[in-house]
Amino acid sequence: MPVDLVAHLDEVNKVAEEYIKGNDETAISKNLAIPRQRVVNMLNEWRDMVSSNEAIRIRAKEALAGADKHFSVLIQKAYEVIDEATMNGNLGAKTNAIKLVMDIEKTRIEQLQKAGLLENKELADELIETERKQEVLVGILRDVSGECPKCRSEVARRLANVAGPTEVITVDIIT
């Protein structure tokens, strides 16, 4: 293999490593002192190489499955925080944990999209729905939160309107 090709592939790998870390083209350009357009071209080249290599695609799918499982664990832990905050009447911690769940889900969707596993339209629809649910949840917490001891049924009803038909909503409000 010619030296120029090896050097080029090393540079493509450095760019890809930065990209996988979550850096965008501009940040990669600054970090590696490479013109942004060249970074874009190298990322496109890297994507082409990766998509045409079956072993790399299998590894990438395994890594994504592992990351997806990790996101699920993080979400479960956030729900544990929500439950504990509810038991302790800590509305601030509960609100932060609910926002954390929404942020984790958004990050998961972005990661899957970045990996090319979601169609752009599908991603846009899911992101819009996630943002809509987040706005509704914040509104519910703001409007109904702990101001009224009779609010349990109202919070449950409104959360049920936000949830999909397969989602289970449990509301425990300490009065």
- Angle between helix 91-114 and helix 54-88 axes, rounded to 10 deg: 170
Interval 83-104: pLDDT, tens? 999 999 898 888 988 999 999 9
DSSP 5-16: HHHHHHHHHHHH
Residues of the chain above pLDDT 70, percent? 67
The whole-model pTM stands at: 0.41
State how far the Cα of 8 lies from the Cα of 2, in Å rounded to an integer: 10
Cβ–Cβ < 8 Å for 127, 114: no
What are the structure tokens assigned to 38, written together? 């060249």
What is the residue extent of each domain of the chain?
A: 3-51, 89-162
What are the structure tokens assigned to 118, written together? 């979601």
- 12-13-19-23 Cα dihedral, nearest 10 degrees: -90
Mean pLDDT of the chain: 78
How much is the pLDDT for 118? 47
- The pLDDT confidence band at residue 56, using thresholds 50, 70 and 90, is low
Contact residues for 63 (Cβ-Cβ < 8 A; gap 6+)? none
Interval 132-159: pLDDT, tens? 888 887 676 666 666 666 676 676 666 6
Is pLDDT at 38 greater than 90 in this prediction?
A: yes
State how far the Cα of 80 lies from the Cα of 172, in Å rounded to an integer: 13
How much is the pLDDT for 36? 94
Cβ–Cβ < 8 Å for 32, 39: yes
Interval 99-118: pLDDT, tens? 999 999 888 888 777 766 54
